[in-house]
Structure 1
């Protein structure tokens, strides 16, 4: 590269790159000329005959991104005729030094501006150098990777300096913040291999040594480093007026669904040693220290070598690698080799096939042959040739094809700076890519592209097994014409469908394009590709006809189908999950139809293995809310986030990944975080409009199923808003003053509206506030002193029962603690057990009289059902008159927790176990049916898949056996209820 250090772009701009059309070329040349005069740019830009000017106009005609960048920032061309390679190197060095600033501007916003300015310049100039042929695709990837590494390294240094300034850590060398820090930042994938795409995301993982000697005693690096990494992600990927630097993905870390963004080195090594997967081994082939303590990074990778490159592979590992091969070949193919709409990365004959060709052989032989441990794909191809694993012809063909395809990939991304790998479907779009690639016609480009793709496919096919299609295994699948194909009907029958004629008719409807989702030829092509696996999956499900017809109803309402069909093609597990949803859960199927983007969450590989804990939800909520500053936008994002997470919790429940109890806790935790976020937004809005009240404190008290962490899908949330302040007779401080009662009533009204007002994104939660003191007649918000007085002196027995399920949900921590103390005091009041039992029994009798169960499946209201169990638990709790503070604080206690804690004090062991066993059964059934259905559950109208799932979770052979089981459990619970809570003799006892 040093030989060209003195050369300018003018010397390379004669390479044949053809403009998209004369009109765009002339417009670009005209704007260049005008900009030269207006912005004092080099004079030759006004010369339409100048070779470099003509090249720039050509480039702008081909790339809207480059043209728009020039229009917004004409200064990008200030030095266009100066030596070019040094400019690129200088920009990268400026990015590396972005954490420093001689003027002392060292905030996050300052480094964000500097990095974005540098990224804009490197992206612009690298694209021009690439198009001009001044740098090769190999050098393009190297420049982009070096810049990305520099940007990450500068951000890490900035964050360490920032943390040191807050006395959270001590730097070994302030001029080299990362030196000896023990913080390991690895570039993964193409970043690690210096093969970065033009518009690529960057994949990084971060580890740290807690004993590196830089962390302060009072600050735990396990909480400090993840916080810094969240800032790193924001600094790099948040879109501002200056653009963004890189979309940053940290999901290649160990068990990303349940681990922090930064992990101790020892914990990471232990994970890889004990639980590491073969796909993770493949990922680490390309890993490279790019930031932080580079020496520590090299040491870490040295310790990883035995995991990545095993000296001896056992048969199970070899089988796993072959399984990966088959999956890649069968499910990442995107159909046959093509040009229009072809995916040059994942499609047949694409870049991924070359990479996989290399990596599997590196995994197999790299343990015994260190020379195969190359990060770059082309280096590994050459090493395989030298080791005689492949011949020279294979190496040369795959290397040539690799850089040709990478070159095409860069042009696809240069068009609009989008991370796409798919060639345009239309002729005009394809011509743009052809001319950016140096071809005057699409025919010439297509010929070269097909030659590369077929070369890769041929070499790949010799190494990997060929997929046997379903049609080849089972028979015909023909859905053309008006009449049924006899062979196809037989195939459908063999696949498990009971009404093959109806199924054939439905599928012909899809192929005729009668739905919006199947109107385009591209959509029908994708659908045809997934048809064998789709029918196989539906056919093997119980009552597959019914499930496929539900999928048909889903398709009929889908606005477009290409994206979904492509996802199903590339994710076989997602296809099976879709089948399960259509078989068992029409409510979830409706959600998918309304919110197509919700499918993205179903692609998370940890979806079925990870319970949505508070940490899990907090991390995703923070990421989802990043960049939303306007109040209304934040409320809409909360609605989207809550809907998606409720859906994903439902998926886990339907597939049996979590229990009914776990679903209730997850749904409640989700509601807690969402209500807290809404409350903070409301308080901020109130402060802006009405100011604050001196000494104000506000919190939300959760009641009902929200209070006992037992929410179900579609549950209302029962809440009470509590407040306190220095002077209840004072006024607020803002421009529009309010007295204290009206101030907090307005807070409550706004909170209810924030949660329940319908927007374009729906409703968060319906809010029920009838459990506040004096019910509907009471004030919307209650002062803590009034709440305490009411509960101690005026509340009825049923209100104390309700309070036993309550817990402070969110808001001011000190008010939450004070509220907990009030609840403790109320629950700790001594009560006569006989009087209490009679009051509760009478209350249950009134409910049974006024609101009887609709059927034996009304598990809440049937004798011996959920209400009986809840009343038993609440009796046990109140009868013990033990403040929850004595058992670890006013924490969340589910009905089962209450039974486990207080039941032994009141009930016989056998009775307690019977009640808890019935509660678990009822909870599993209630959670599942409410997740799957919009209406109440009745076996005669329920989907077959749901019936099958219910029988499975109850370990019953059929629904008749399940009905008998429920009747038995209900009878046992009712007998225990009657024994424990004999009817009151005096109706007034209920007061």
Structure 2
């Protein structure tokens, strides 16, 4: 080890001589122990310490810590993460110690109010000091390199500890200036850390320490993408850490945007171009090379790995909090796990990052210089190769070039894909832009539009002239129009591929007219060509879904997942859980539910998932929304009215949600049940108390309002409460005792039938267990012989009073979905006491269970299950395409969707008349089973 130090670095050799005790401690007790001994003197601030003594202590600790980190690195005892983590920890400890001295000095001068009991605690003294220090860059990410600057942002709250708030600015600026001086000033003992404060908000116009409110206002109004990237790594490293964290929480929406923004890629590419232009003379080469190459800023270097990682984090991290890692290697792993970066790419970038950071460290260890540039001469390169542990320069050079080339390729794939596509388009005549002159129509363009399949080329041309002239809302900016110009051939090709291109084009025009800014949308299409084709298919086939998309363009984001429907469901708990307050939680839930619904609906439309999988996915999404959002409702309510001791509110799902068979636009059928000890009569702990029953009634109203109130992303769900014991006339919430008593004494047959689909979806573990038990008890109690006749009578009244709304109302029609469900529910209710195993919330599972107990024949069960799937499939597809439809004939594009979606259920049917005949046959079979098992229906009125 000593030979390695002395043979490659005069700086390390000098440190080893000056700090021989640290080297001995390292050799005898190991790196971890030796490093802990370095940090120990920084934990406390000697009461009588002078500034000179404090600075000397800081410099010696830095010297010893850097030596031990270098020795552990060179001997392979520490990984890169351990080395950079130790250096970051050392920097943080020195900041704490220096701050403690300066704050105590300010308190002794009478400038700050600080508790005397904490004046010797290097970290405790900073609590409630009004001073917050954020570590940025590599310090923030715990990735500090061997000779790195520490990037800091120093903030203050003038109202916390300063005696005079109006003079606080000058006081905290003085503290910032003194801190920089203590860290940077060089003496015979060296220096602590070079310090850079240029990442503060608007550094040319703001002082060294910035008022927190000023900083928040800046980021909310003027912050740029590069500042968002810088804030990814920001974390409190000194001063009052709680104050620093509250600031980061406040600007979280600035860093992690609500919607995907692929336009960020272009911004970062421009930044990288500026870096190359500014540093080219210093070796930030535009090509991969060895001699003189800058391993940080050059092609294939560390910065390209960081940019790739940070851009993907900024694009996807607003939607997925799991991607908000501060360290590069952790972020790459998270991106791969979330399928935002291929596992191979993440592995290549991670391996290259470790290698290039090791090279960077060796370069800096030579003379303790902040350099990233390899030597120009062969002798210098050979020394670095040896320092890296390579036997010869050639082997080192090959390995270096391999890593640089892999990084270059991955960077180009993300950042330069669009420019390459433009170059290819220039060589492809079919992709050449059409001409849409502002004052007329180009004859060749009209002819080409006709050839593409547009039946009204003049109207199509007029639309696109309006787009290019910026007359449509989404393309009013020049940047949006430039993106549109590049994307127009692909957009037209995708729309022309539809069965009715003119209709699809009109729907795309509606989207552009409704979107506030087209840059994000068009960048989304530019980076994801497959998404454009999927959207065009939706516009061509599903007017109802297209209309939803026009009013909720953010729903597109749900289509970009590679893990299939359900990604929004998986992200809901984390996104809503990290919300700063109730409104942010509600907004996040609305956004992900909107995306999730569209994601599932699109997959169902494309026949990528069947109706059972889609129903379960929609139900999982609703379950996740309830589980994630309701605790926020509770917390918000408790702040106003306290809590009922040992009381709790639970939610029971019924209907399609209860059976996990939700269709597009399904309501949530809910019953809210509360329970509390008899001796607890009111709430406590809030500004206002309420009687327990009133408390839970109001809390239930807040829960329902959270799901039904509209916002920018629409509303979460419609909620149907009619199945609660009191119906629509009573309180929204019912006590558990009342619920049990009602179903034991007063429930109607139809209410008991509905209860077969009940399942608890929210509540404490104990309450959910009691709810499940109460539901089961209600279903297993002895029922009158009137169950089956009551079901037949109810169905007859429905046929008379609520007839089918047209030939495609497959729920209410004779032999339709209602009759399938009545068979399942009535037979379960009639035989549950004797055969409790027949109870199942899902219709198809209940039917299968009834057949296992010979309450239905296998043939009857198969017929009912097939009809159930067919009806739900067609109903879902009709809701997505045309919505309520009363005419016998369907648009041609819709017929294509129905035939494709039911192919696995009907065999090969070539046209809609054949499908209609199939439905009629299935309905007749269902009606026969209904009458055989429940009883004959009176003849329906003509």
TM-score calculated relative to the size of structure 1: 0.58
Which of 855, 858, 864 lines up with 1:906 in the alignment?
A: 855
CA positional deviation for 1:868: 0.7
Alpha-carbon distance in 2 for matches of 1:931, 1:733: 48
Report the Cα offset of residue 872 of structure 1: 0.9
Q: Name which one, 1 or 2, has greater alpha-carbon Rg.
A: 2
Distance 1:723 1:33 in 2: 55
- Return the alpha-carbon distance in structure 2 between the equivalents of residues 739 and 623 of structure 1: 34
Report the alpha carbon displacement of residue 611 of structure 1 after superposing the two structures with TM: 4.0
Give distance in 2, aligned partners of 1:484 and 1:129: 44
Contact 2:810 2:871 in 1 (8 A): yes
Q: Which residue of 2 aligns with 1:288?
A: 351
Take 1:108 and 1:466, find their aligned partners in 2: how far apart are those partners? Answer: 47
Contact 1:372 1:380 in 2 (8 A): no
Asked whether 1:965 is paired with 2:892, we answer no
Q: 1:892-937 CA deviation, whole Å, 9 max, x = no partner?
A: 732111112224432222222111111111111112222344x413
Counterpart check, 1:897 vs 2:849: no
Is 1:937 equivalent to 2:885 in the alignment? yes
Partner of 1:672: helix, strand, or coil?
helix
What's the CA shift for 1:953? Answer: 1.4
Instruction: Select the residue among 926, 934, 937 that pairs with 2:875.
Output: 926
Structure 1 runs not aligned, ≥5 long: 7-30, 45-55, 75-94, 117-126, 146-188, 205-229, 238-244, 258-276, 296-368, 383-397, 410-419, 423-452, 986-991
Q: Which residue of 2 aligns with 1:432?
A: none
Which residue in the other structure is 2:557 paired with? 600
Maintained 8 Å contact 1:287/1:375:
no
The residue aligned with 2:864 is 915
Which fold has the larger relative contact order, with Cα–Cα distance below 8 Å and residues 6 or more apart in sequence? 1
Query: Which of these residues, 542, 547, 561, is aligned with residue 590 of structure 1?
Result: 547
CA contact (8 A) 2:661 2:842 kept: yes
Is 1:977–2:930 an aligned residue pair? yes
Q: Secondary structure at the match of 1:720?
A: strand
Q: Any idea what SS the aligned residue of 2:485 has? A: helix
For 1:696, the equivalent position in structure 2 comes to: 647
In structure 2, distance between residues paired with 1:421 and 1:744 = 54
Check 1:562–1:724 CA distance in 2 against 1; reply closer, same or farther (3 A cut).
closer
The aligned counterpart of 1:723 is 674
Does the Cα contact within 8 Å between 2:864 and 2:926 map onto a contact in 1? yes
| C-alpha contact 2:670 2:721 (8 A) present in aligned 1 | yes
Label 1:256 to 1:797 Cα distance change in 2 as closer, same or farther (>3 A).
same
Q: 2:321, 2:555 → 1: CA distance?
A: 26
Against the structure 1 CA distance between its residues 594 and 899, is the aligned structure 2 distance closer, same or farther, given a 3 Å change threshold?
A: same
> Is the 2:779–2:829 contact (alpha carbons within 8 Å) kept by the matching residues of 1?
yes
Partner residue of 1:201? Answer: 310
Distance 1:796 1:597, change over 3 A: closer
Separation in 2, partners of 1:899, 1:852:
25
In the alignment, which residue of structure 1 is the partner of 2:51? none
Q: Tell me which residue corresponds to 1:810.
A: 762
| Aligned match of 2:813 | 862
The 1:286/1:885 distance shift into structure 2, 3 A limit, reads farther
Structure 2 CA distance for partners of 1:557 and 1:816, relative to 1, 3 Å: same
Per-residue deviation, 1:738: 1.9
Match of 2:793 among 815, 839, 842: 842
1:701, 1:810 within 8 Å by CA — same for their partners in 2? yes
The answer for the alignment partner of 2:621 in structure 1 is 670
**1:329-348 to 2 correspondences below 5 Å:** none
Q: Contact 2:577/2:628 (CA < 8 Å) preserved in 1? A: no
Name the structure 2 match of 1:637: 588
1:752 aligns with 2:704: yes
* Structure 2 counterpart of 1:226: none
Of 940, 946, 963, which aligns to 2:894? 946
Cα deviation, residue 587, structure 1: 3.2
Structure 1 residue 251, shift from structure 2 partner: 4.9
Deviation at residue 873 of structure 1 after TM alignment: 1.0
- Using the TM superposition, give the Cα deviation of residue 882 of structure 1 relative to its aligned residue in structure 2, in angstroms: 4.9
- The CA deviation at 1:783 is 1.7
Q: Secondary structure at the match of 1:532?
A: helix
How far did 1:778 drift?
Answer: 3.3
| Alignment partner, residue 534 of structure 1 | 491
Rate the CA distance shift 1:831–1:558 in 2: closer, same or farther, 3 A: same
Give the Cα separation in 1 of the matches to 2:461 and 2:637: 60
Deviation at residue 941 of structure 1 after TM alignment = 8.3
Instruction: Tell me the residue number matched to 2:382.
Output: none
Shift of residue 939, structure 1, vs aligned partner: 6.1
* 1:216 match: none
Contact 1:679 1:751 (8 Å CA) reproduced:
yes
1:769-799 Cα offsets, whole Å, 9 max, x none, are: 1211131343322221221121122111111
- CA 532–195 in structure 1, closer or farther in 2 if over 3 Å, else same: closer
Greater Cα shift, 779-788 or 493-502: 493-502
| Structure-2 separation of matches of 1:560 and 1:100 | 38
Residue 968 (structure 1) shift: 1.9
Conserved? CA contact 1:200–1:246, under 8 Å: no
Q: Deviations over 1:323-353 (max 9, x none)?
A: xxxxxxxxxxxxxxxxxxxxxxxxxxxxxxx
Root-mean-square deviation (CA, aligned residues, Å) is 5.2
SS in 1 for 2:781: coil
Describe the superposition over 1:723-774 as per-residue Cα deviations: whole angstroms up to 9, x where unpaired: 2221166222234222221121122111112222233443222222121113
**1:174-573 residue pairs with structure 2 within 5 A?**
195-197=304-306, 201=310, 236=326, 248=331, 250-253=333-336, 256=339, 280-288=343-351, 374=399, 379-380=404-405, 467=424, 472-473=429-430, 477-480=434-437, 482-573=439-530
8 Å CA contact 1:860, 1:866 repeated in 2 = yes
Aligned residues: 664
* Corresponding residue for residue 771 of structure 1: 723
- Report if the CA contact (8 A) 1:722-1:782 is conserved: yes
The alignment partner of 2:689 has SS state of coil
Please give the TM-score of this superposition, normalised by the length of structure 2: 0.61
Moved more, 785-794 or 837-846: 785-794
Distance 1:34 1:983 in 2: 87
Aligned to 1:322: none
Pick closer, same or farther for the CA change 1:3–1:567 going to 2, 3 Å. farther
What residue number does 1:92 align with?
none
| Unpaired segments ≥5 residues, structure 2 | 1-7, 15-168, 183-193, 212-231, 253-273, 286-291, 314-319, 359-393, 904-908
* TM-fit CA distance, 1:976: 1.7
